[in-house]
């Protein structure tokens, strides 16, 4: 057996021990994995939470989802819950699937909010697969300006 592959004319054997074999070995091709309906739609929906002087802003990446498939709720007056469901794509009998990586099913994320928020003024919008939830903060009154008083005596 030659250690140098032949690129001209002859086809190499399908030998997994031959480092120059032209066929790709897929070690997991015969293993059974859970179907897409058994996995969560977005295993860990990626969420950014930033605080501005006026509000807490949450941005969640929900690619391919419609606003009708997503719920934004407030639980116990202190917990923001983002949840939803991605439905399974309809399979046609004549289709041959080569790979299924996009998952379907339900997802849920919860965030405990601080006490300085206005729960009755939460707003949510969705654009291009990004959910934005804005939770306004209670205005903090600035301390009265302190004037220095000269002491006589």
Tens digit of pLDDT at every position of the chain (153 positions): 555 555 555 555 555 555 555 555 555 555 554 444 444 445 567 899 999 999 999 999 998 888 999 999 999 989 999 999 887 777 777 888 788 777 778 889 999 999 999 989 999 999 999 999 999 999 866 655 666 777 776
For 70, phi then psi, to 5°, come to -120, 140
Residue with structure tokens 């009154």?
Answer: 141
Cα distances (Å, whole numbers) of residue 85 to 52, 68, 73, 76, 125: 30, 10, 15, 23, 17
For residues 22 and 15, is the Cβ–Cβ distance under 8 A?
no
pTM of the model: 0.61
């Amino acid at each position: 057996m030659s250690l140098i592959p032949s690129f001209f004319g002859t086809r190499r054997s399908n030998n997994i021990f031959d480092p120059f074999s032209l066929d790709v070995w897929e070690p997991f091709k015969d293993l059974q994995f859970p179907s897409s309906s058994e996995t969560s739609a977005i295993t860990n929906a990626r969420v950014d939470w930033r605080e501005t002087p006026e509000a807490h802003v949450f941005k969640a990446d929900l690619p391919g989802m419609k606003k009708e498939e997503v719920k934004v709720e407030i639980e116990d007056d202190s917990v923001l819950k983002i949840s939803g469901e991605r439905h399974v794509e309809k399979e046609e009998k004549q289709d041959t699937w080569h790979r299924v990586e996009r998952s379907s099913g339900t997802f849920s994320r919860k965030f405990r909010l601080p006490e300085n928020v206005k729960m009755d003024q939460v707003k949510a919008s969705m654009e291009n697969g990004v959910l934005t939830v804005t939770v306004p903060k209670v205005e903090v009154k600035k301390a009265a300006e302190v004037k220095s008083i000269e002491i006589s005596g």
